[in-house]
Amino acid sequence: MISPRQELLRLLATKSFRLGDFKLSSGGRSDYYIDCRTTTLDARGAQLTGQVFLEEIRRRGWNAEAIGGLTMGADPIVVAVAITSGTLNGFLVRKAEKQHGTGQRIEGFRGKGARVVIVDDVCTTGASTIQAIEAAREFGFEILGVMCLVEREEAHGRADVEKAAAAAPFVAVFTASDVRKEHIALSRQPSAVS
C-alpha cells in the first residue's frame, strides 16, 4: 500500500503533468506544463491534497486558525484542507478588491490577527503566492507558513517567496523534478499513463 503522499505524486504525474512546448503565465517557455487543478479538483486528488497538506501543517506544529491563498490555484487546496481538518477555516484572496458590495479582497474567514497558512498550487516566479502573502498581512493575518503543492524550481521564484514570507517558512510538497521523474517512471510502465 502506498502512502497518501506517494499516491498524490502519482496522480500529479498522470493527471497534471505534460511534456511539450508551453508558454507560462510568467511569459517564459517550458518543455513541461503542470496543471495541478486536474488533480486538486479530482475526487481522490482532493482527498489526498487535504490529507497531505494537513499532515505537513501538523508535522511543522503550525497551530493555524485558517488556510488560504490567491484565487484560483489555491481554491481547491483551501477547501480540501478545511474539510479534511474539520477545524481550519478557509479564506480566498482576490487578485483585486471587489468594485461592488463590501469591496473585500479577502473572502471567507476574516479573523483579524488570526494565525494562517498561505497555500498555492504551482510556484514558478512566486508572484501569486507573494500577492496572497501581502494581502493577508495587509488584512492583519499572522502568517505561520507558506505551502505550495509543486515548486517549478525557477531561479528566483523560491527566493522571492521566502523573502516575502519573511520569518514564515516556505514548504514545497513536491518539486517539478519529483513530478517529472514520477511521470517518466510511470510512462515506462505498460498502460500506466494515458
Q: Is 5 inside any structural domain?
A: no
Q: Is 80 inside any structural domain?
A: yes
Total domains present in the chain: 1
Q: Is 9 inside any structural domain?
A: no
What are the tens digits of pLDDT across the range 28-66? 788 999 999 999 999 999 999 999 999 999 999 999 999
* Closest among 22, 49, 30 to 150, alpha carbons compared: 49
As given in the structure block, the three cell numbers for residue 11 are 496522480
- CATH of residue 87's domain is 3.40.50.2020
Q: Is 129 inside any structural domain?
A: yes
This prediction has a pTM of 0.90
Give the domain extent around 152. 47-175
What are the tens digits of pLDDT across the range 174-192? 999 999 999 999 988 765 4
Phi/psi at 34 (nearest 5 deg)? Answer: -125, 115
